[in-house]
Amino acid sequence: MDLQSTLILFIIGCILIASSILISSITSKIGISILLVFLAIGILAGSDGIGRISFHSYEIANIISNLSLAVILLDGGMRTKISSIKIALIPALSLATIGVLITAGLTGIMASYLFKIHLIYGFLIASILASTDAAAIFTSGKGLNERVISTLEIESGSNDPMAVFLTTSIIKMIQIKQLNFTINILLIHFIYLIKQFILGIILGLIGAWILKKIINKIILVSGLYPLLVLSIGILIFSLTNLLDGSGILAIYLYGFLIGNYNIRNQNNILQIFDGIAWFSQITMFLILGLLVSPSSLLHIALPSLILSFWMILLVRPLSVFIVLSPFDNFNIREKFFISWMGLRGAVPIILALFPIIAQIEHAMLFFNIAFFIVLISLILQGSFLNFFAVKTKVLLPSIVLPIHRTNLDINIKEQWEQFTYKLDAKTWCVGTAIRDLYIPKKTFINALFRKGKLIRPIGNTILQKNDIICIMGCENNLTDLGKLFSQTVSLSLSQKFFGDFILDAEAKLYDIAKIYSLKLNKNIDVQQSIGKLLISLMQNNTIVVGDHIKWNNILWTIAEKENNKITRIGIRSIKKY
């Protein structure tokens, strides 16, 4: 390829990426999945679209997509908190293993029937489609209650290895003409699965340990820390795959561990990775969109549509309800939403490249089926996510976030940052003196900008519309700061979600009973706090914000938690609920 061709390639690539970003800013406002936009632009730019770009290098697409997926999983792992593991590890891993097997089994039988192919090929299609997509989940799952989002993120980050294992195992069976499952075959593949998982876990742990030892002992330019994290992550991913382990599991575990370690420049690393992960998602979906010819989807549209509805409306809900049935802390609304959140994205399309590269019979059919079903999933499930989140009451009221965050890199154990907020006419604290604000502990107002000029903030400074205020604090202050700079409308919506009134969880039951005329059992300790009583009534070790219980004709809702301790409780008469 000469220089002119290379420059033309760069121009086309930049136009596609810029177009994806600009169009997504519009479509996201009307509820269309951002990932669907990236995929659609790739299709439009392809050989059957207006761009007429002929791209059919499946090997290059596989390399780029796997590298992009590794970056996305690394970013997702770093943002998965240790509290999520405590809340949802076992349910999520159950969905990632047993749930994937149920999905593969039921989908495989239906695929074999619809496309009139041998059952082993039906199971290959099902294995390709079996996992939920990490990129889609990490992008779409903002604002959900902690139990739901923790389950979905851990499931999507850990079920990819299972889908990869099933896909590669069935391809190997087809290559050696072993079209039936026997005990020996199942045993061999089970041992292979254990080997992949063990290698993935060990190398993920080693990678995180190495990074922690290095990063806290050296001083670098701030922009180099994210590159160090990325390079070691890709090294671990590649090495694990080279040793025939699960590179996907290794890099997700590596990301999770370093995201929960106290490492130098951590918040800055996360901010840089936000952009890197978005670039990876855009690139991956554009490349995969370029591969498909829409005309080749027409003849498989009807059976693929039936298979899509089979998976969305029956298989996914059935697997979720079966797998989560032993876990009493999931209510029916949460199970229903988790069922709907079984988004398919880039991973099935990437796995559909495996049969093509291996030159398996019907390989292009499998690719087209996977692509069609991903499209339907992003259109149908992706477009109605917010609707179902609201209806199932798993979407929590949002808090105001800073317009800018700057990592100060002063103390590794306490990650100090500067948060910048902009006040508008609806911000409730406009017109209030700084001394009258409830400033969270360990936070300090250090600068105030008004009409572009720096003002020294003092106690009697009155906050005005369009003021920009800079506050020094830590990440755990964001919730309180979000309330401090929230809008009056948001505040009322938040209260409406949690109840008619918000109580301090430390309030004595005796005092609450007198005010609300509660009928108390003689065995109840009236001197205990209302929060302690509700924990005992809920009988749940993993209570999250949004959980509620009906007691004494009142709906009690957990409104706030701090360090796994309930701090505020919303109440509402059941008659109004």
398-413 pLDDT, tens digit each: 778 898 888 887 777 7
Q: Report, at the CATH architecture level, how domain 3-391 is classified.
A: Up-down Bundle (1.20)
Task: For residue 512, name the pLDDT band (cuts at 50, 70, 90).
Answer: confident
Confidence of residue 493 (pLDDT cuts 50, 70, 90): very low
- Pairwise pLDDT comparison (563 vs 449), residue with the higher score: 449
Q: Class of the 499-576 domain?
A: alpha beta
Evaluate whether 60 touches 288 at the Cβ level (below 8 Å): no
Q: How far is CA 468 from CA 432, 462, 488, 496, in A?
A: 14, 13, 18, 29
Window from 20-34, 194-208, 276-290, 435-449 with minimum mean pLDDT: 20-34
Determine the Cα angle at 133 with ends 129 and 134, to 5°.
155
Q: Of the candidates 548, 543, 542, which has an alpha carbon nearest to the alpha carbon of residue 569?
A: 548
> Can you give the pTM of this predicted structure?
0.81
| Of 61 and 186, the one with more pLDDT | 61
Distances (CA, A) of 532 to 227, 495, 498, 553, 566: 46, 22, 18, 19, 8
pLDDT computed for residue 63 by the predictor: 92
Do the beta carbons of residue 249 and residue 161 sit within 8 Å? yes
Which CA distances in Å does 263 have to 65, 279, 414, 540, 543?
A: 29, 24, 10, 33, 29
The pLDDT of residue 211 = 93
Cα(488)–Cα(4) distance, integer angstroms:
57
Mean pLDDT of 266-285: 88
What sections of 176-265 are H helices per DSSP? 183-215, 224-242, 247-260
pLDDT digits (tens, 9 = 90+) for 455-479: 888 888 999 989 999 999 988 888 8
pLDDT tens digits for range 171-227: 988 988 776 767 777 788 788 889 999 999 999 999 999 999 899 888 888 889 999
Please identify which residue in the block is written with the tokens 């499952």. Answer: 181
pLDDT digit string, tens, across residues 102-139 = 999 999 999 999 999 999 999 999 999 998 877 777 77
Q: What is the CATH number of domain 404-488?
A: 3.30.70.1450
- Domains of the chain, by residue range, sit at 3-391, 404-488, 499-576
Please indicate whether residue 109 or residue 39 has the higher confidence score (pLDDT). 109
Q: Is 56 left (phi over 0), alpha (psi -120 to 50) or beta?
A: alpha
Q: Is the pLDDT of residue 521 over 70?
A: yes
CB 559 within 8 A of CB 495: no
What is the structure's pLDDT at 491? 46
The pLDDT value recorded for residue 489 is 47
